Structure 1
């Protein structure tokens, strides 16, 4: 590597231990993000060195290709003393916490009574912006614990913790929404919350198709179609069951299509067999065979 110039260290067989021993003053935080935007962007989760560079005997990791090229072009702008900002002390850096880690910190409570600080501040600290965070997206900062609505909100806090950490929630807070067991609802409420969406989709599908199965009534055909549809698209069913009933549904639709096909093909005037479509005889035999099945004529 040329003296006084920065160079990419990708594919130079540098071990994690060697990288750690020669990291510059920004550890694994992107110096370009810090200098240009005052953002803390931790690159430690990315083990690749595709966006890493060596300068004056130290290693620096950037968050993306564009920032690597900026660093390589003018490295003095992004390292001390040229960088306008310094990396905070380790105890002042935010770090992600897993859900078990948050629970192990009991009796310490999460800040802001569990509301997402990013959503609240970005929502101009209005009452409507009080949205409860998810324990899956937790961060420790200044020995305090914060939880966030989404991963995107968590990442935003990690970049700009100083912007979001010191907030107070109002005295009036949204009520806590306790989960209600589906089986505790009355029958009408149970059906509305449990199966209404699935039934609406099934009814929409049968209304669009208007199936008429050979030798069955329109009502019986519609009921069978809805039953197959519910089984085929039951997200709580097994893969085997869904696949099985999707095949039954497809076969049912093919059988229903026989009636309009034969109705349009069989005219009042006699046609010799050689003038019929090539699949006419097969579909006609299949149509009559459905009438011989057990349960035909409305009892399928």
Structure 2
């Protein structure tokens, strides 16, 4: 059991420490404890040397973020993309140059930066980072609601889907609040996470669009209580009621001393209570037992009619349970009514 849990969790644990701290080291557990101890001391010493060297460099250069902040300077220079690297806490793809460090989006861009850093930082960089008000930022649903009564631009349609769809009517797709973006103090809703990332990279291409005079209507949900009676019943109880009536039609219940109509209504009522998914487990189990009891009582009439023929049969020729079921049938006639079952 412990071994299976270890195999299941060790991959994620290894990935976490390697991604966040770069300090995951594999050791041979078949070696002696002294060998393992020496290996641990050696690896920890190397790691501490790296940390001390890094702290010395940062203190010497007073290292801080460069003029590009958390944005990749290589993406900005080559593709004019604003690729925010702040979501990656690790400095795996970071480089220090002239007392400042710069974060790159990947290994290939890190190698480009290290080969010729002067091409990607001021004054040799072809493009500079826009001012803070011109940088896009992601918004949470709470932040969007706190900015009420400000409304989303493009009436909530996704700007990326609309432009990529060549601004056709079919490309007018509603965005979602969970993928909201703030740009130039305006709110934009994107359709998916991928569309949101695309807007964040090149906001200038998507923010200034005009909607056509005719747009799709709002998909506002209709409250179920606002429907007419037939529609309300159809949307609320149609499916469970059909199942209950189908079960009653298959069983054709006839409760002793009750009419066929009243027997069917009683069975449908118990069936709806027994299979109501909004009830508690205790309530459902309680009424399922009552449904089973009702089915058992309804079976008394066909049973007794098949045993009690016109000709007299001696008690010895009758089934063993005949007297018990006959007494139960007669006892049901003395009950006040079917309300005891509900």
Shorter chain as denominator, the TM-score bin is 0.5 to 0.7
Q: From 75, 85, 89, give the equivalent of 1:33.
A: 75
Match of 1:123 among 149, 160, 165: 165
Cα offset, 1:191, TM superposition: 7.9
Aligned to 2:30: none
Distance 1:144 1:35 in 2: 26
Residue 89 (structure 1) aligned to one of 131, 136, 146:
131
Larger relative helix fraction: 2
* 2:198 maps to which of 143, 156, 161: 156
Bigger radius of gyration:
2
Aligned residue for 1:145, secondary structure, equals strand
Structure 2 residue ranges without an equivalent (≥5)? 1-21, 23-46, 244-249, 252-274, 282-342
Verify: 1:101 aligned to 2:107, yes or no.
Answer: no
CA distance in 1, matches of 2:79, 2:190: 22
Structure-2 separation of matches of 1:105 and 1:25: 30
How far apart in 1 are the matches of 2:116 and 2:279? 59
How many Å separate the matches in 1 of 2:62 and 2:139?
22
Q: Specify the alignment match of 1:169 in structure 2.
A: 211
| Corresponding residue for residue 46 of structure 1 | 88
Structure 1 residue 73 displacement after superposition: 1.6
> How many angstroms does 1:108 deviate by?
1.3
Partner of 1:112: 154
Kindly indicate whether residue 116 of structure 2 is the aligned counterpart of residue 63 of structure 1: no
Corresponding residue for residue 6 of structure 1: none
| Aligned residue among 116, 120, 128 for 1:78 | 120
Output the CA distance in 1 between the equivalents of 2:117 and 2:207.
31
Offset of residue 23 of structure 1: 1.0
The answer to which of 21-30 and 38-47 deviates more is 21-30
Evaluate the alpha carbon distance shift between residue 188 and residue 104 of structure 1 in structure 2; reply closer, same or farther with a 3 A threshold.
closer
How many Å apart are 1:81 and its aligned residue?
Answer: 2.2
The residue correspondences of 1:247-266 to structure 2 (distance < 5 A) are: none
Q: Distance in 2 between matches of 1:51 and 1:72?
A: 11
Q: Give the TM-score, by structure 2 length.
A: 0.50
Structure of higher RCO (CA pairs closer than 8 Å, 6+ residues apart): 1
RMSD after superposition: 3.3
- When normalised by structure 1's length, the TM-score is 0.57
Give the Å deviation of 1:57: 1.3
- Any idea what SS the aligned residue of 2:161 has? helix
